[in-house]
Amino acid sequence: MRHRLPRLRAVQSRRPHSFQWQIPLTLAVGNSSHISTETIIWVSNKTETHRVGHMDGETWLLGNINQTGYFRVNYDLHNWRLLIQQLKTNPTIISVGNRAGLIDDVFNLARGSFTYHNTQQLWVTGVSPPVSLIVSPSRTQHFTSVSLSLSCEDQSNSTGWRVRRYTDSGRLEDCSSLRRGSQTGSTCTIRPTNASHTGVYWCQSESGQKHHPVNITVHSGVILESPVHPVTEGDHLTLRCLYRHTTAPNLRADFYKDGSLIQNQTTEMNITTVSKSHEGFYSCKHPERGASPKSWISVRRVSNEHCLFDSESQMSVLNILSSVLAACPYLLVTVVLIYRCCRMRVASVEEETSV
């Protein structure tokens, strides 16, 4: 876990001096049914790494409890997803104050371009997006030591689109700066892949427009074959569990959604008619080869007006906001009461002034 401390400059001195504060960072860890008591870490350096108790793939971390510190807290993509899932399934585990803090943090982090997000877009039938990120092989999870291609296909045939990525460690990179990565025109080629190539990739124009973010995971063992882009309601969906060190790459495995077993000992999982309820985290597990990473499968809905509201982002600020707000009715009531109280006090002052 890394922390960046503020630098201060002495106003009275002719020579600039840098000072560092010790910052108390309060933390809590939790899962679907429990949250720990808060602990405190004193951060004394610009960058520090701390091991926070026992954390597995289902445990999330929450920092700056009740926003007692004057700073923002950002998380890696996996932790954000776990927090969103918690807010959707059992929000009361996280207090109202901390849910409000998540709203405050995510909006300010998004304003500074520090979150995994993309503006939601409204696409009308017949109108194509300006650019599409094409991934080959066409899946979100990939083996190590293979070739991976990501290409920005522009519908208007204009030039200047490049592939960029945001890493789990928080770095923003061009394809050409990746180890083993090369950019030719609008195509990024990574050969051979390794686990460090995991991250969020998107197409970016010379003017800074961003489109089609895709979460790519590179893993050395078992992987889940799942679609790169959101699936439309009513479509057919097939998931497979792959392992390259066997004669037949398709494994007979168990399939999971949001951590729960939904189908066991099958070479592929089929959903004949996709609905919004099928949206979630999917993974597969083989008893001998191990488990795949999780992949988020997004389902987009087509309305009666034939308009498409597309959630291309695997992790969007609006997704976080809607999850938190849906889980915070008491927060909304509190805001309304404070507003009415302020109005009553203003009216009272105006009456006294008129007298």
Give the tens place of pLDDT for each residue, 253-289: 999 999 899 999 998 999 999 998 998 899 999 999 9
Closest CA to 170 of 254, 113, 245: 113
pLDDT tens, N- to C-terminus, the chain (355 residues): 444 433 333 333 344 555 667 788 888 898 888 888 888 888 877 777 777 767 777 889 998 888 778 788 888 778 888 898 888 888 888 988 888 888 878 777 765 555 554 333 323 333 345 688 899 999 999 999 999 999 988 765 556 788 988 776 667 888 888 888 888 888 999 999 999 898 888 888 887 777 778 889 999 999 999 999 889 999 999 999 999 876 667 889 999 999 899 999 998 999 999 998 998 899 999 999 999 999 989 888 765 443 333 444 444 545 555 555 555 555 555 555 665 665 665 555 455 555 5
Same domain, 111 and 125: no
Query: Domain ends where: 98, 115, 132?
Result: 115
Q: How many domains are there within the chain?
A: 2
Output the CA–CA distances (angstroms, integers) from residue 77 to 102, 143, 166, 232, 316, in the order listed: 14, 20, 10, 24, 11
| Residues 198, 176, 172, 113, CA torsion sign | negative
Evaluate whether 26 touches 69 at the Cβ level (below 8 Å): yes
- Residue 150 included in any domain: yes
How many CA atoms are closer than 13 Å to the CA of 294, on its beta-carbon side?
20
Q: How many helices (H) and strands (E) would you count in the chain? A: 4, 26
Residue with tokens 């602990």: 39
Q: How far does the chain reach from its first CA to its final CA, in angstroms?
A: 60
Domain of 84? Answer: 8-115
Closest CA to 318 of 168, 106, 129: 106
- Residue 214 included in any domain: yes
Residue 289, amino acid: R
CA 193/CA 285 separation, integer angstroms:
22
3-state secondary structure of 204: strand
Same domain, 79 and 185: no
Same domain, 20 and 92: yes
Same domain, 79 and 110: yes
Same domain, 49 and 72: yes
Residue with tokens 């808060």: 38
| Phi, psi angle pair for 137, to nearest 5° | -65, 150
- Residue 216 included in any domain: yes
- Residue 316 included in any domain: no
Residue 79: which CATH number? 2.60.40
Which two three-digit tokens encode residue 103?
């709203």
pTM: 0.53
Same domain, 73 and 221: no
Closest CA to 213 of 113, 316, 283: 316
- Residue 337 included in any domain: no
| Residues 210, 212, 215, 217, CA torsion sign | negative
| Residues 174, 179, 185, 186, CA torsion sign | negative
pLDDT at 169: 65
Closest CA to 183 of 150, 212, 158: 150
Evaluate whether 3 touches 26 at the Cβ level (below 8 Å): no
- Mean pLDDT taken over the chain: 76
CA 328/CA 317 separation, integer angstroms:
16
Same domain, 107 and 130: no
- Residue 320 included in any domain: no
Same domain, 171 and 77: no
